[in-house]
Structure 1
Amino acid sequence: MIRTATPADVPVIHAMVRELAEYEKALDEANATEEQLHEALFGDRPAAYAHVAVADGGGAGDGDGGGDGEVVGFALWFLNFSTWRGVHGIYLEDLYVRPERRGGGHGKALLTELARICRERGYERLEWSVLNWNAPSIAFYESLGARPQDEWTVYRLTDGALAELGAN
C-alpha cells in the first residue's frame, strides 16, 4: 500500500534517509534533522512531499490510524519546471526501500504513484539521479522504461563555494 506521508511518519522517514546515506557511503553528509524534515514536508510553506510504502500487517503501527502495517519505504519529491515544455514535473530526491523488503514491489509502487500524480496533474517529467555505481537501482529503473540522460552533467555548489558566490 502506498499513501501520502503524515507528520507521524517523519521519524521513520528520517531514519530511512540516514540508512540511504549510509548505503550511498555518505552518512557523514546527511545532517538533516527530523525537525527540518518536518518543516520541509508539513510547515507553513511545504517545499517537498513524501509518500510511504506500508507493508501489509504484521509490523509496528505507524501511528496514522491507517492500519497496522509497517512503513518500509518512502519517496520524497518536489516540483521542478521545464521551460521547454512549459509545465511542472516531479523531481524524485530520494526513493528508498529497506533492504529486507526489497523485491516486494514497494519501489515500483512508489514510482507508479508518482507517475500517476504526473498524469493526473499534467506534469510531463518524472526525473531523478542515481549513483553510477548503483547497478541494482539502475537495472530496476531501466526495467520500468527509464533512460539515463547521459548528455547532461549535474553541477552543485555547496558549503564554502556557495557562500563565496552568494557573498558577491
Structure 2
Amino acid sequence: MGGGDKGRLVVRGRPLVAHVVARLEGQAAPLALNANGDPKRWADLGLPVLSDTVPGHPGPLAGVLAGMEWAASLGADAVISAAADTPFLPLDLAGKLHAAAGPSGLALASAGGRPQPTFGLWPVALRGDLRAALEGGTRKVLHWTDRHGAGYAEFPEAAFFNVNTPEDLAEADR
C-alpha cells in the first residue's frame, strides 16, 4: 500500500481509522488508538494514543496489552479491539463479543468459521499473563487466546472486509 499509516488512507472522504472510530462509538467507551511513533499524527482523532509497552514491536498482542494496561488504569474490566483498516466492522461487535466470552472473559470475532484475531474482548485481569507471554516470545494471537479458552462470536464473512491492496481501497470507496 506504499508504506505509511494504512489507517490514514481515505475512504468516502475520511481516513479508514475514522470509520472504525465512528462504528465503535456507542459500543465501547472511552476509545483509544494503539500506534507507535509520533502520536501527533493522530491528533485530529482526539483520542489517547497508546504506544506498545513491550519493546521490539512484537505485533498485535503488544497493542492489546497497551490497551489492557490503559483500561486497567481507568478501572475498566476489559478492552474491545478492532483493526484500523476495517471500515465496515459490525455495529454489534461489542455485544456479540460479550455474549460469546469464554470462562476467562476472553472472546474473539469469527467470520465464516475463521477467527478474526484483531477483533476481540480482552479482560484486563489477563494483562500480567499476556505481558509474560510476550516477553517469553509469544507472537501469535491464537496461541495465546487458545490457552485462555477464548469464546468466539460468529459474524457474516463480509463483516471484516479490510483494506490490504489498492483494489480493496477502491472497493471500500464504492
Instruction: Report if TM-score (shorter chain) is over 0.5.
Output: no
Task: Tell me the TM-score normalised to structure 1 length.
Answer: 0.32
Task: Tell me the TM-score normalised to structure 2 length.
Answer: 0.31
Pair member with larger Rg: 1
More RCO (CA 8 Å, sep 6+) = 2
